[in-house]
Structure 1
Amino acid sequence: MKVTVCGAAGGIGQPLSLLLKLSPLVDELSLFDVVNAPGVGADLSHIDTNAKVTSHLPDDNGLAKALNGTDLVIIPAGVPRKPGMTRDDLFAINAGIVRDLAQGVAENAPNAFVLVISNPVNSTVPIFAEVLKKNGVFNARKLFGVTTLDLVRANTFISQLDSSNKIKPSNLNVPVIGGHSGETIVPLFSLGAPEFYKSLDDEQRDALVHRVQYGGDEVVQAKKGAGSATLSMAYSGFKLAEELIESINGKHSFVDSSFIYLSDEIEGAKEAKQLINNESINYISLPVKLGPRGVESIEYDVLNKINDHEKELLSTAIDQLTTNISKGVNFIKNQA
């Protein structure tokens, strides 16, 4: 199993690469970045685990070398958020970075699985898909936007409200649907922690949802402008990568949050579209079942189980997602 990290020298890329180097599931770890990749590679190569480490810069066809023969590409590349910035504010810079990396994947690793971390995910995943489509190598089962951090935060934040300390975040799996930015994030506490959720009043409930939706701001403010959510994001990216690698190796997995393309070829996609009742939404974060091919099925029935409040949140999310997705698609379509 060869894994390539594009953006390996950044705030997310370095801890993510460390986690991958420690994983017994990874045989070869290929690092790419525009600067400092050799230093990160040299550092990681001293760790006594079996994964072989290579590092690459853009010079001398470095991206192609990093991607050649890879099974899984993880992309945390791009600029981080700064105080006052939304994920959409990052679009102008990160869109071009993601476009170029997508072209590299299309040319050098067209059959690889891809996890996109680069923000804004609601727009960068459509950018990636459009580039792969242009090159005739798009496979909806193999492209994922990493929204796992929203699930991780939902598990953590609701457990912190439990004064009895009986709810452990590691025992929870709160599904998170919608997208990966502000109000597009819809945590389904009614399904993930139903009994405790019922004990919350409306004010507590709304504060909890808001904290999950804007958890990234909490980190940006705490770091006083010196960074954004890097360690928790690296953990979340690795969490999804590990589940995907296990699935590629034959173990079917179920994940409660991933931003995917609703291809009619995937079981459950048509039903999900009908329940969302918005024909312009081709991308959304939903629970999915993973297997050797990638996305085996979309667990659309979660949309039948949400309560009225969560339906309202989803409606708001869909309205914003429509704009976010179109922004990514049009970025590629409007280019010569």
Structure 2
Amino acid sequence: MARKKIALIGAGNIGGTLAHLCALKQLGDVVLFDVVDGLPQGKALDIVEAGPIEGYDINLTGTNSYTDIQGADVCIVTAGLARKPGMSRDDLLGINCKIMRDVSENIAKYAPTSFVIVITNPLDAMVTLCKRVTGFPKNRVVGQAGVLDSSRYRTFIAQELHVSVRNVTAMVLGGHGDDMVPVRSYCQVGGQPVEQLIPGPRLEAIEDRTRKAGGEIVALLKTGSAFYSPASAAIQMAEAFLFDKKQILPCAAYLEGEYSIKDVYFGVPVVIGAGGIERVVELRLSDKEKSEMQVSVSHVQELVTAMDNVLAQKA
């Protein structure tokens, strides 16, 4: 049986972590690409040399040439500038548009049948641009956002109640920014609704921390942004595709009327399998959650408009 091929576009902190996770999980052959000479090659060699210790066999190539991603089954895009203290995800827009356009053109050229997972921020704009430039159908371009945001929400709830994160089910929808929507009505701890376990004001504080969790890490690191958890989130999505898991995961998907939202990438639960995004799962939301979703989608639409203005200026 032929091994799957995973292309990682960007060999920074997230890209390097992705490569290591691919090796540990033995997901297939891996190509780690970056424009910086020596960076992907050095990280690839380092990871390969850990193989005898960790017990994995991997064909991992570090490269500065897009031709090496030829025929990839999955492309995970992390290329772009990371956030620094005081920056919002939206502040990255002008810088990362050019990078994403170049990356997308090369994915379309060398990996035209791949399933693309975008991590680069501002996520909702970058995944939109990737779909436009590649021309891929909506089921084959997805943004990594909700898996990470939901994991953060689950973490904070588990810490509050002193229980295992495995006992917490939770979902965060909406845009990958300060208007994301932790869906309280679908959050349970050991089968119990979270609202029965955590007082309202405390739960609101946890949800606010969830929205600002990425910025909290940026402020602590001072020189970059989160990379372990975003990489883990993207790998979970890639595994769902590679192994046809039919797994329900919250992701930035292109909507065409679901949740009464049209023609925009937005964080919703989707089923990911061998067909990519195989369907959108529509939850019954409370009126408050519906209202929060509309606020979030308005911000995403504004972000996409801002991106279009940036692209028009550079045209």
Fold shared per TM-score above 0.5: yes
- 1:236 maps to which of 230, 233, 236: 233
Gaps of 5+ in 1: 263-268
Residue matched to 1:150: 149
Q: Is the Cα contact below 8 Å between 2:33 and 2:40 reproduced in 1?
A: yes
Gaps of 5+ in 2: none
The 5 Å alignment of 1:29-108 reads 29-35=30-36, 36-46=39-49, 47-48=51-52, 49-57=56-64, 62-65=65-68, 67-108=69-110
RMSD: 1.8
Distance 2:240 2:312 in 1: 33
Residue matched to 2:214: 216
Q: Indicate how the Cα distance of structure 1 residues 85 and 335 shifts in structure 2: closer, same or farther if over 3 A, else same.
A: closer
1:187-216 CA distance string (max 9 Å, x none): 112202262223433322221211111101
Distance 2:170 2:312 in 1: 36
Q: Secondary structure at the match of 2:13?
A: coil
Residue matched to 1:227: 224
Residue matched to 1:205: 203
Q: Indicate how the Cα distance of structure 1 residues 296 and 330 shifts in structure 2: closer, same or farther if over 3 A, else same.
A: farther
Distance 2:131 2:78 in 1: 16
**Percent pairwise identity:** 30
C-alpha displacement at 1:299, in angstroms? 0.2
Residue matched to 2:253: 260
Distance 1:285 1:152 in 2: 14
1:254-283 CA distance string (max 9 Å, x none): 21x100112xxxxxx54x1xx33x54x422
TM-score (norm 1): 0.85
Q: Is the Cα contact below 8 Å between 1:127 and 1:329 reproduced in 2?
A: no
The 5 Å alignment of 1:246-325 reads 246-247=243-244, 251-255=245-249, 257-262=250-255, 269-270=256-257, 272=258, 275-276=259-260, 278-279=261-262, 281-300=263-282, 302=283, 304=284, 306-325=285-304
C-alpha displacement at 1:331, in angstroms? 4.8
Q: Indicate how the Cα distance of structure 1 residues 94 and 327 shifts in structure 2: closer, same or farther if over 3 A, else same.
A: same
Distance 2:75 2:9 in 1: 7
Q: Indicate how the Cα distance of structure 1 residues 190 and 328 shifts in structure 2: closer, same or farther if over 3 A, else same.
A: same
User: What letter matches 1:173 in structure 2?
Assistant: T
C-alpha displacement at 1:329, in angstroms? 4.8
1:163-193 CA distance string (max 9 Å, x none): xx3x42123331221111111x111122022
C-alpha displacement at 1:327, in angstroms? 3.1
1:104-147 CA distance string (max 9 Å, x none): 011111110101000000110111111123xxxx1111111001
Distance 1:187 1:214 in 2: 12
C-alpha displacement at 1:79, in angstroms? 1.2
Q: Is the Cα contact below 8 Å between 1:31 and 1:55 reproduced in 2?
A: yes
Residue matched to 1:12: 14
- 1:171 maps to which of 145, 167, 172: 167
Distance 2:310 2:116 in 1: 20
C-alpha displacement at 1:12, in angstroms? 1.1
Q: Is the Cα contact below 8 Å between 1:179 and 1:259 reproduced in 2?
A: yes
